[in-house]
């Protein structure tokens, strides 16, 4: 799901998320607010609906699901009460149900940035139902692309059904790029990207700055740094959820990205997403290429109708010849809380909703999102030409890239690690501006130093967590 638009336990209240959280003071404030919010909701009687409570953070999801929920309720199954709760409120309410035994939803949609908060502490303290055996027994590993499960997996256990995969391409101003006689099929790598598109970086007005830049990159930098790190086979954590910021692949990727935004070969600029000023720059062609997960297509078609027929899509240039041509941005899972009074009924409804033919088609038609369910990919809706993207069958293009989508990690320290990686890139870019003659080997060495410092900081944060301190020391031994 687009991250820019957008639990009742029934047991002894947990302390893991607050007591073992990565940022103690801030999370404690949130937790206190959550407890207050929970108490107010109880006082108002807002938790007394009959049936399974199903919460989603997204208005678009609620609108998609309403018809399916009505049909389900009319069929005589366990009734479902669908509610849309804003992301901030949803996070507070989940915290309240984790720590104060305040009733929460039975089923809940959780966005990528929120889910890792639930994975702090031991597995038995996680407030979502472990779905691993159910998924195995019902053959869903064969039905759903494996990369779609990775954000919802902790220590080998799966806690949600994936709503999406979110492969990434580049969208580009075909009217300006192809109008200049450039063939993007000649681009395989980022080196090719720089070389083939260099003529478009002209300074016709003589102000010492290109009239157009090639790539919109510096806005939403944390999201996009993660996109490109993953594409380059970098990672924030390894398969065992141990910190891996100092991995050599990360240094190579950051060195490459630094040349995009600093130094004599700079070709990227800031064009904000989700803003009127950014939309004006897009229409004016300030940058020509844009990072485009499937869900972002819907944003552009709604917000930038004047660009219809002027845009096209292409795979991401690879970091090395033969390398990965896509990445991933965002994501949503459907989880069952471990306090749900009838988990089997909740599981039956979850499969009815997320595995349905109807939802797969409507997700694409109304939100441009590709379903992670493989059997639906043959549907002809994905072959329909899209007028906005100059008649390309964009659904089929995204589906063709799904096998290359990189896996992700669900460490509760994900937000901190991502922020530290971005701070390292900012420092590296500033250093490159001060040393414009630096070569790639020098940039990689500087990136390695910065990431080593970031790794030490991340380990310090994790060592402050009682649960993770013990795990780290066991690994070191």
The rounded distance, in Å, linking the Cα atoms of 142 and 446 is 43
Alpha-carbon distance of 17 to 62, in angstroms, equals 28
Q: Which residue has the higher pLDDT, 352 or 34?
A: 352
Distance between CA atoms of 338 and 160, rounded to whole angstroms? 12
pLDDT at position 325 is 98
Pick the residue with more confidence: 379 or 118?
A: 379
User: Do the domain assignments include residue 2?
Assistant: no
Sign, Cα dihedral of 326, 330, 334, 336: positive
Give the chain's domain count. 2
- The answer to whether residue 392 sits within a structural domain is no
Contacts of residue 445, Cβ cutoff 8 Å, sequence gap at least 6: none
Residue in the structure block whose two tokens are 């910190």:
243
Contacts of 471 (CB under 8 A, 6+ apart): none
| Coil, strand or helix at 337 | strand
Least confident of 22-31, 72-81, 226-235, 352-361: 22-31
Residue 33 or 89, more confident: 89
The pLDDT of residue 77 is 82
Residues facing residue 291 across a β-bridge: 170
Nearest to 34 by CA among 102, 110, 96: 96
Residue 386 inside a domain? The answer is no
**Are both 278 and 350 inside the same structural domain?**
no
What is the distance between the alpha carbons of residues 84 and 202, in angstroms, rounded to a whole number? 48
Res. 99 pLDDT band, cuts 50 70 90: low
| Each residue's pLDDT tens digit, 275-291 | 999 999 999 999 999 99
Pairing of strands 287-293, 213-216: parallel
Q: Does residue 125 register a pLDDT over 90?
A: no
User: Packing angle between helix 24-44 and helix 87-100, nearest 10 degrees?
Assistant: 90
Neighbours of 240 (CB within 10 A): 12
> What crossing angle do the helices spanning 414-434 and 440-463 adopt, rounded to 10°?
150
Residue 476 located in a structural domain: no
- Range from 18-27, 43-52, 130-139, 150-159 carrying the lowest mean pLDDT: 18-27
| Residue 213 half-sphere exposure toward CB, CA atoms < 13 A | 21
Domain match, 153 and 172 both: no
- The CA distance from 273 to 271, in Å, is 7
Give percent of the chain above pLDDT 90: 73
C-beta atoms surrounding 125 within 10 Å: 20
pLDDT tens, residue by residue, 381-415: 999 999 999 999 999 999 999 999 999 988 889 99
Question: In this predicted structure, what is the pLDDT of residue 291?
Answer: 98
- What pLDDT does residue 50 have? 76
Residues 198 and 267 in one domain: yes
Helices 248-261 + 440-463 axis angle, to 10: 120
Look at residue 91 in the predicted model and tell me its pLDDT.
Answer: 85
Give me the pLDDT at residue 411, please.
87
Are residues 135 and 233 both part of a single domain? no
This prediction's pTM: 0.87
Torsion over CA: 364, 370, 374, 378 (sign): positive
Segment 43-61, tens digit of pLDDT: 334 444 578 999 999 999 9
Confidence of residue 8 (pLDDT cuts 50, 70, 90): very low
CA distance 151 to 166: 12
Lowest mean pLDDT among 112-121, 134-143, 390-399, 466-475: 466-475
396 domain-assigned = no
Cβ–Cβ < 8 Å for 31, 92: no
Radius of gyration (Cα) for the chain, nearest Å? 23
pLDDT of residue 36: 43
pLDDT at 96: 77
Range of the domain at 157: 16-166+330-376
Q: Output the pLDDT for position 212.
A: 95
Q: Is 200 within the bounds of a domain?
A: yes
CA 74 – CA 70 distance, rounded (Å)? 6
DSSP string, 30-72: HHHHHHHHHHHHHHHTTT--SSEEEEES-HHHHHHHHHHHHHH
156 and 33 inside one domain: yes
Q: For residue range 416-473, what is the model confidence (pLDDT) as tens digits?
A: 999 999 999 999 999 999 999 999 999 999 999 999 999 999 999 998 875 555 444 4
Q: Are strands 107-111 and 80-84 parallel, antiparallel or unpaired?
A: unpaired
The phi and psi torsions of 17 (rounded to 5 degrees) equal: -70, -40
pLDDT on residue 349: 97
Mean pLDDT on 73-101: 86
- Name the pLDDT band for 37 (thresholds 50, 70, 90): very low
47 domain residue, yes or no: yes
Q: Are residues 148 and 183 in the same domain?
A: no
Please give the average per-residue pLDDT across 134-163, as a whole number: 94
Whether residue 472 lies inside any domain: the answer is no
The proportion of the chain whose per-residue pLDDT surpasses 70, expressed as a percent, equals: 86
Which residue's structure tokens are 């799966």?
A: 158
pLDDT digits 0-9 by tens, 322-339 = 999 999 999 999 999 988
Q: Which position has the token pair 């008649």?
A: 391
Residue 335 neighbours by CB distance under 10 Å:
28
Are 31 and 138 in a shared domain? yes
CB 159 within 8 A of CB 128: yes
In the predicted model, what is the mean pLDDT of the chain? 87
Q: Are residues 360 and 438 in the same domain?
A: no
**Domain match, 355 and 316 both:** no
**Contact 311/188 with Cβ under 8 angstroms?**
no
Residue 17 has pLDDT above 70, yes or no: no
212 with 122, same domain: the answer is no
Instruction: Considering only residues 7 and 104, tell me which one the structure prediction assigns the higher pLDDT.
Output: 104
Per-residue pLDDT reduced to its tens digit, 210-269:
999 999 998 668 899 999 999 999 999 998 889 999 999 999 999 999 999 999 999 999
Distance CA(214)–CA(184), nearest Å, equals: 12
Domain with 195 in it: what CATH number? 3.40.190.10
Candidates 163, 161, 237, 245; CA nearest to 410 is 237
152 within 8 A of 410, measured Cβ to Cβ: yes
* Per-residue tokens: 404: 């290359």
Q: Find the DSSP H helices in 355-409.
A: 357-367, 394-401
How confident is the model at residue 189, as a pLDDT?
98
Condensed to tens digits (0 to 9), the pLDDT of residues 59-72 reads 999 999 999 999 99
Residues 215 and 243 in one domain: yes
SS3 at position 88 = helix
Query: How long, in residues, is the chain?
Result: 477
Same domain, 424 and 362: no
The pair phi, psi for residue 455, each rounded to 5°, is -60, -45
Going by C-alpha positions, the residue among 440, 467, 439 that lies closest to residue 125 is: 467
128 touches 256 (CB < 8 A): no
| pLDDT at residue 310 greater than cutoff 70 | yes
Alpha helices in 355-392 (DSSP H): 357-367
Compute the distance between CA of residue 446 and CA of residue 451 in angstroms, rounded to an integer.
9
């Amino acid at each position: 799901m687009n991250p820019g638009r957008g639990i009742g336990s029934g047991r002894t209240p947990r302390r893991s998320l607050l007591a073992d959280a990565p940022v103690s003071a801030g999370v404690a404030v949130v937790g206190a607010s959550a407890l207050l919010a929970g108490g107010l909701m109880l006082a108002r009687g807002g938790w007394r609906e009959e049936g399974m409570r199903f919460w989603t953070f997204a208005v678009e999801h609620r609108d998609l699901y309403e018809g399916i929920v009505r049909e389900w309720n009319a069929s005589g199954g366990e009734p479902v009460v669908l509610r849309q709760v804003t992301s901030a409120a949803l996070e507070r309410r989940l915290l309240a149900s984790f720590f104060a035994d305040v009733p929460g939803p039975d089923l809940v949609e959780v966005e990528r940035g929120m889910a890792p908060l639930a994975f702090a502490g031991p597995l038995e303290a996680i407030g979502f139902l472990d779905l691993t055996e159910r998924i195995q027994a019902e053959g869903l590993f064969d039905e759903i692309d494996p990369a779609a499960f990775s954000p919802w997996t902790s220590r080998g256990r799966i806690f949600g059904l994936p709503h999406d995969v979110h492969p990434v391409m580049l969208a580009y101003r075909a009217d300006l790029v192809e109008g200049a006689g450039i063939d993007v099929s000649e681009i395989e790598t980022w080196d090719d990207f720089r070389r083939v598109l260099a003529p478009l970086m002209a300074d016709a007005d003589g102000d010492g700055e290109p009239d157009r830049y090639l790539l919109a990159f510096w806005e939403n930098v944390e999201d996009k740094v993660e996109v490109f790190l993953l594409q380059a086979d970098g990672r924030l954590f390894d398969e065992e959820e141990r910190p891996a910021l100092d991995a050599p692949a990360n240094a190579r990727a950051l060195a490459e990205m630094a040349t995009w935004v600093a130094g004599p070969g700079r070709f990227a600029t800031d064009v904000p997403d989700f803003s009127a000023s950014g939309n004006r720059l897009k229409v004016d062609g300030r940058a020509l290429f844009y990072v485009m997960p499937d869900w972002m297509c819907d944003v552009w078609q709604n917000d930038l109708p004047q660009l219809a027929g002027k845009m096209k899509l292409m795979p991401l240039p690879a970091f090395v010849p033969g390398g990965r041509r896509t990445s991933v941005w965002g994501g949503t899972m459907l989880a069952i809380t471990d306090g749900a009074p009838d988990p089997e009924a909740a599981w039956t409804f979850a499969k009815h909703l997320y595995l349905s033919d109807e939802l797969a088609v409507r997700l694409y038609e109304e939100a441009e999102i590709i379903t992670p369910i493989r059997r639906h990919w043959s549907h002809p809706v994905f072959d329909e030409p899209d007028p906005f993207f100059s008649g390309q069958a964009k659904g089929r293009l995204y589906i063709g890239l799904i096998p290359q989508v990189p896996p992700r990690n669900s460490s509760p320290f994900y937000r901190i690690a991502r922020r530290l990686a971005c701070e390292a890139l900012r420092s590296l870019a500033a250093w490159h501006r001060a040393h414009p003659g630096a070569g790639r080997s020098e940039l990689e060495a500087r990136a390695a130093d910065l990431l080593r410092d970031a790794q030490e900081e991340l380990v310090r944060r994790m060592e402050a967590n009682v649960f993770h301190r013990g795990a780290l020391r066991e690994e070191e031994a």
